[in-house]
A and B are shown apart, each in its own frame.
Chain A
Amino acid sequence: MWKTIVRRFLIMIPQLFVLSLIIFILAKNMPGDPFTGLITPQTDPARIVELTEKAGLNDPWYVQYMRWVGNAFQGDFGLSYTYKRDVADLIGERALNTFWLSLLSVLLLYLIAIPLGILAGRYQNSRLDKTIVMYSFVTYAIPTFVLGLIFLFLFGYKLEWFPTSGSVDVQYDPGTFSYFWNKIYHIVLPSITYAILGTTGIIQYLRSEIIDAKAMDYVRTARSKGIPMRKVYSKHIFRNSLLPIAAFLGFTITGLLGGSIFIETIFGYPGMGELFVSSILSRDYSVITALVMLFGFLALLGSLLSDIIMSIVDPRIRIE
């Protein structure tokens, strides 16, 4: 298995290489450049020309690409044109924000979805089951921004239970406990929004797996051996039904850094989703390429993780 993992990592190198090439060419082919947005009637066109030249944007794309690859190998992803900061620092700051938000979201997501999925499957066709299925369809149909705004209005402004924007209040000093607590406080509402909306897939998978499993031979065997139904569910059916969910776990873990533009915009939370979209709009090439590379790497890593998790959960599966 270790051999396979090492091999998979080695294959990633050409994959990422091709990805970087594609994204670089596409990014450079977008109309405009980072300086287009700075133009005012007072702007001197000659200065824009000078800055473009200085930034090396007039070189042929392969020259720029080679320069970028050279620097990237030394861990230098350049300076953001918009934020005038080191890209790695900028992404690091946003990634940390996004990571905490996503982590809480995913925890809540599983906390809501798994019990509901199990109950729906176990008591199939009961009123409870129908309610859960209805709930999952309804949440599937609600757009993120609608629920986000409703929650914000209700719990943020009307009931004043939660803060309404940002990731932390300005008066706290980083490193203190109150700072940390205030941060958690800020991510609760967006996390709940995210968790409620994301449950459908897991509930449906789990429910249908359990319904299928109930009719399986091994369940009948277990029952005929006199094992109580409760135990059959917790020991036999549950573990088998979790397989499809485990299959996605790798992606879920690496997906923690993706961020959601809707949640971030509504709750005024600076995260990766916002950074990605705004960097594209402002043609912040260095940030775009670094982010796509990061997302690409995470996707590959996610699929590898999923395979590993599967082999642990289901001993019949072996990575060769």
Chain B
Amino acid sequence: MKKTKWSLIALLLSVLLVLAACSGGDDEPKTEESDETSSEDTTKGEPTSENSGDLFEMAVTHEGEPIEGGTLQVAMVADSPFQGIFNWELYEDNYDSTLMEWTTNELFETDENFMITDKGIATLEVDQENKKATVKIREGVKWSDGEPLTIEDVILPYHIIGHKDYTGIRYDSEFQNIIGAEEYHAGTADTISGLKKIDDHTLEISFKQVSPSINYGGDGLWTYAAPAHQIADIPVGELVENDAVRKNPVTLGAFKIDKIVPGESVSYVRNEHYWKGVPKLDGVVVKVVPSSSISVAIGSGEYDIVQSFSATKMPEIQDFDNITILGRTELAYTYLGFKVGKFDTVEGKVVTDMEGSKMGNQQLRQAMGYAIDVEQVSEVFYDNLRERANSLIPPVFKAFYDDELAGYTYDPEKAIALLDEAGYEDVDGDGFREDPNGQPLEIKLASMASDATAEEIVSFYLQNWADVGLNVTLTTGRLIEFNTFYDMVEADDPEIDIFMGAWGTGTNPSPSGLYGDADPFNFSRYTSEELQSAITAIDSAEAFDTEYRAKQFKAFQEHIEEVATTIPMQFRYEIFPVNKRVKNFSIDYANEYKYHLHELELVAEEPIAN
């Protein structure tokens, strides 16, 4: 009898544990393509545009009498420590830029179309004819230590980025567009000759070329200031390790860094010298919170604003009544790419070879786009926080996004019809189609490993293709680790016929760099005269006329849709849970919070719990 009792308890215990394990398992850390996003969404310019977040509010409307001062508690969801390089010229990690938003050194403000306005610290005037731009800063703007902002602070970043000891990625072909940048980088000149100080508040920059993208912060224009009185004397090679970057950077934004726990948290106090007025909050504390416990933390009212929240955790928080969930579409898309050529590394150009490629048949590619049920994946796996994309330009770019584009939608009949028409038929009766010559057709798909659902989703797509008679298998037999994936895709590995990737577009949606005839990142290796002329036109001088530019964008989108060498798959939403005590917070690109940090207010002493 004694024995039975014990075994019964043991049984009960184990059942309890299994239950506990299940509920715990939901909170298990999800990487959710963190690799992919963190590395690709590192963008130069800052996102700023209006957006079509139909599903969500984009600003909070919390009522209540604001309290005096108060400290805003911010959670930054991350499963690894931040790097802590607080300098716009040197940082590489997205989390660092998120942390710097509170103290920003941004010179320009932008409108809902991402164009530079004259509301910021500086204004921009472009002289198209002489290929010059004039940057003029406001008088009376002060750094957080009380020193005045001068034009030297605007010039310094160029001399950091262009320096031969600079190890960041921002010294690039775009930067070399500034006259004299290359000479300075090579060490044959002491300064960049294209930068001309007119007076204490005006800088004139000479470029080799001026294109419409300069109005979006492109063409080599740098949109941040650096505190010359603090860092100008520090050798560029040693800057990244200096306390002026790591611990006590002097800044221009509404708040300034007070204390830092390396990798974990940063506390800010208000900047009394802020040029738009003294901020209403006393300060802000930003803490790194593991993804495994963030949902519980939100419910218990630990945080006011949550940044980098993974949309896949939406079901865990959507019933909380202590928060408002804001959302907007990301400046990114996922896509299905088809290899139709090679990259000639010697000549540095894309060589398209339709005849010689397994995926060279346009109808085959189109059929593969129609065959996959992205809609269902979006609904089942992503709770509609992702949606089928119809274009390679995210809808946020209202002026250039073509909402009339049909895109590829789930239509297996159409896929079957296209394959039949193209001569892909099942000759040997094994259930899979052979190619038009009667040879077996096995299509190799490369896809990135991420969280647990990645595997399920890919198997679902493989089944979709099998349903229309296509034998698609995984390159290497399984999902591929992020670094390996891009290595193989970039090297045109013969084991890859098609691949699923993602791009963050940044604030400049121009397809040059990704679809041009000399771009190594043009992974599908497709180029044609028509495509290239559209891409060139988008960044041409005529394109200063937005209508003309939009027309060229439309041509680009239509052409890519037609040839289907890259088929857009999904747009994604990013969401921001915000506690109900926060006032004046908006993620609408047209009126984003980062320009209104000094107006943030709280209506309760402590964050509200669920």
Please indicate whether A and B come from the same complex rather than being unrelated chains: yes
Contacts of B40 in A (CB 8 A): 39-41
Q: How far is the CA of A142 from the CA of B21 in the complex (A)?
A: 8
Q: How far is the CA of A156 from the CA of B292 in the complex (A)?
A: 13
Asked whether A268 and B264 contact (CB < 8 A) given A31-B483, A41-B521, the answer is yes
Contacts of B167 in A (CB 8 A): 51, 54, 84
Contacts of A166 in B (CB 8 A): 261, 264-265, 287-288
Contacts of B264 in A (CB 8 A): 165-168, 170, 268, 270
Q: How far is the CA of A146 from the CA of B28 in the complex (A)?
A: 8
A265 interface neighbour in B39, B260, B290, Cβ under 8 Å: B290
Whether B487 and A32, one on each chain, are in contact in the complex, defined by CB atoms closer than 8 angstroms, is yes
Whether B289 and A82, one on each chain, are in contact in the complex, defined by CB atoms closer than 8 angstroms, is no
Q: How far is the CA of A143 from the CA of B21 in the complex (A)?
A: 8
Whether B483 and A42, one on each chain, are in contact in the complex, defined by CB atoms closer than 8 angstroms, is no
Contacts of B288 in A (CB 8 A): 165-166, 268
Interface flag for A171 (CB, 8 Å): yes
The interface-forming segment of B121-129, B296-304, B317-325, B599-607 is B296-304
A41 interface neighbour in B300, B483, B484, B505, Cβ under 8 Å: B505
Interface flag for B27 (CB, 8 Å): yes
Contacts of B92 in A (CB 8 A): 38, 82
Q: How far is the CA of A170 from the CA of B286 in the complex (A)?
A: 9
Interface of chain A residues 148 through 204 with chain B (CB within 8 A): 149-150, 152-153, 156-158, 164-171, 173
Whether B17 and A165, one on each chain, are in contact in the complex, defined by CB atoms closer than 8 angstroms, is no
**Minimum Cβ distance to chain A for residue B45 (Å):** 8
**Complex: chain A residue closest to B296, CB-CB:** A157
Whether A167 and B261, one on each chain, are in contact in the complex, defined by CB atoms closer than 8 angstroms, is yes
Interface flag for A141 (CB, 8 Å): yes
**Minimum Cβ distance to chain A for residue B129 (Å):** 27
B171 interface neighbour in A47, A85, A171, Cβ under 8 Å: A47
Chain B 1-37 near chain A by CB (<8 Å), digits 1 or 0: 0000010001001100100110011011100000100
Contacts of B566 in A (CB 8 A): none
B172 interface neighbour in A43, A171, A278, Cβ under 8 Å: A43
Whether A150 and B24, one on each chain, are in contact in the complex, defined by CB atoms closer than 8 angstroms, is yes
Contacts of A39 in B (CB 8 A): 39-40, 486, 521
Contacts of A222 in B (CB 8 A): none
The interface-forming segment of B430-438, B506-514, B582-590 is B506-514
Q: How far is the CA of A31 from the CA of B481 in the complex (A)?
A: 9
Interface flag for B241 (CB, 8 Å): yes
**Complex: chain B residue closest to A277, CB-CB:** B80
Q: How far is the CA of A77 from the CA of B110 in the complex (A)?
A: 43
**Minimum Cβ distance to chain B for residue A187 (Å):** 13
Asked whether A274 and B24 contact (CB < 8 A) given A32-B484, A138-B17, the answer is no
B169 interface neighbour in A38, A149, A270, A278, Cβ under 8 Å: A38
Contacts of A76 in B (CB 8 A): none
Interface flag for A244 (CB, 8 Å): no
**Complex: chain A residue closest to B71, CB-CB:** A171
**Minimum Cβ distance to chain B for residue A13 (Å):** 31
**Minimum Cβ distance to chain B for residue A91 (Å):** 13
Whether A32 and B290, one on each chain, are in contact in the complex, defined by CB atoms closer than 8 angstroms, is no
Interface of chain B residues 290 through 317 with chain A (CB within 8 A): 290, 292-293, 296-297, 299-300, 302
Whether A171 and B259, one on each chain, are in contact in the complex, defined by CB atoms closer than 8 angstroms, is yes
Whether A149 and B27, one on each chain, are in contact in the complex, defined by CB atoms closer than 8 angstroms, is yes
A164 interface neighbour in B28, B240, B302, Cβ under 8 Å: B302
Interface of chain A residues 125 through 156 with chain B (CB within 8 A): 130, 134, 138, 141-143, 145-146, 149-150, 152-153, 156
Contacts of A278 in B (CB 8 A): 80
Contacts of B262 in A (CB 8 A): 93, 270
Interface flag for B173 (CB, 8 Å): yes
Interface of chain B residues 503 through 545 with chain A (CB within 8 A): 503-506, 508, 513-514, 519-521
**Minimum Cβ distance to chain B for residue A139 (Å):** 10
Whether B300 and A45, one on each chain, are in contact in the complex, defined by CB atoms closer than 8 angstroms, is no
Whether A42 and B17, one on each chain, are in contact in the complex, defined by CB atoms closer than 8 angstroms, is no
Whether A42 and B513, one on each chain, are in contact in the complex, defined by CB atoms closer than 8 angstroms, is yes
Contacts of B265 in A (CB 8 A): 166, 169-170
Interface size class of A (residues with CB under 8 A): 35 or more
Whether B293 and A149, one on each chain, are in contact in the complex, defined by CB atoms closer than 8 angstroms, is yes
Whether A149 and B24, one on each chain, are in contact in the complex, defined by CB atoms closer than 8 angstroms, is yes
**Complex: chain B residue closest to A145, CB-CB:** B28
Interface flag for B285 (CB, 8 Å): yes
Interface of chain B residues 63 through 109 with chain A (CB within 8 A): 79-81, 83-85, 90, 92-93
A36 interface neighbour in B259, B487, B519, Cβ under 8 Å: B487
Interface flag for B43 (CB, 8 Å): yes
**Minimum Cβ distance to chain B for residue A8 (Å):** 36
Chain A 253-281 near chain B by CB (<8 Å), digits 1 or 0: 00000000000011110100010001001
Whether B287 and A146, one on each chain, are in contact in the complex, defined by CB atoms closer than 8 angstroms, is no
Asked whether A146 and B169 contact (CB < 8 A) given A84-B83, A165-B293, the answer is no
**Minimum Cβ distance to chain A for residue B334 (Å):** 14
Whether A40 and B504, one on each chain, are in contact in the complex, defined by CB atoms closer than 8 angstroms, is yes
Interface flag for B547 (CB, 8 Å): no
**Minimum Cβ distance to chain B for residue A199 (Å):** 16
Whether B17 and A142, one on each chain, are in contact in the complex, defined by CB atoms closer than 8 angstroms, is yes
Interface flag for A48 (CB, 8 Å): yes
Interface of chain A residues 2 through 51 with chain B (CB within 8 A): 30-32, 35-48, 50-51
Interface flag for B244 (CB, 8 Å): no
**Complex: chain A residue closest to B20, CB-CB:** A150
Chain B 560-586 near chain A by CB (<8 Å), digits 1 or 0: 000000000000000000000000000
Contacts of B42 in A (CB 8 A): 38, 40
Interface flag for B267 (CB, 8 Å): yes
**Minimum Cβ distance to chain A for residue B235 (Å):** 15
Contacts of A46 in B (CB 8 A): 172-173
**Minimum Cβ distance to chain A for residue B85 (Å):** 6
Interface of chain B residues 427 through 464 with chain A (CB within 8 A): none
Contacts of A82 in B (CB 8 A): 83, 92-93
**Complex: chain B residue closest to A281, CB-CB:** B35
Contacts of A170 in B (CB 8 A): 259-261, 264-267, 285, 287
Whether B28 and A165, one on each chain, are in contact in the complex, defined by CB atoms closer than 8 angstroms, is no
Interface flag for B174 (CB, 8 Å): yes
**Complex: chain A residue closest to B487, CB-CB:** A31
Interface flag for B488 (CB, 8 Å): yes
**Complex: chain A residue closest to B39, CB-CB:** A37
Contacts of A134 in B (CB 8 A): 6, 10, 13
Contacts of B57 in A (CB 8 A): none
Contacts of A37 in B (CB 8 A): 35, 38-39, 482-483
Interface flag for B467 (CB, 8 Å): no
Interface flag for B263 (CB, 8 Å): yes
A32 interface neighbour in B241, B261, B483, B521, Cβ under 8 Å: B483
Interface flag for B44 (CB, 8 Å): yes
Interface of chain B residues 172 through 187 with chain A (CB within 8 A): 172-174
Asked whether A164 and B297 contact (CB < 8 A) given A32-B484, A145-B24, the answer is yes
Interface flag for A207 (CB, 8 Å): no
Q: How far is the CA of A83 from the CA of B17 in the complex (A)?
A: 40
Chain B 476-493 near chain A by CB (<8 Å), digits 1 or 0: 000001111011100000
Contacts of B521 in A (CB 8 A): 39, 41, 43, 45
A138 interface neighbour in B13, B24, B285, B299, Cβ under 8 Å: B13
Whether A47 and B505, one on each chain, are in contact in the complex, defined by CB atoms closer than 8 angstroms, is no
Q: How far is the CA of A317 from the CA of B43 in the complex (A)?
A: 64
Q: How far is the CA of A306 from the CA of B290 in the complex (A)?
A: 37
Q: How far is the CA of A31 from the CA of B28 in the complex (A)?
A: 28
Q: How far is the CA of A40 from the CA of B299 in the complex (A)?
A: 35
Interface flag for B272 (CB, 8 Å): no
Some 16 contacts from A to B, beta carbons below 8 A apart, are A30-B483, A38-B39, A42-B43, A43-B513, A84-B240, A134-B6, A138-B14, A138-B17, A153-B296, A158-B300, A165-B289, A166-B265, A171-B259, A268-B264, A274-B80, A281-B483
| 3 closest residue pairs by CB, A with B | A32-B483, A44-B172, A37-B39
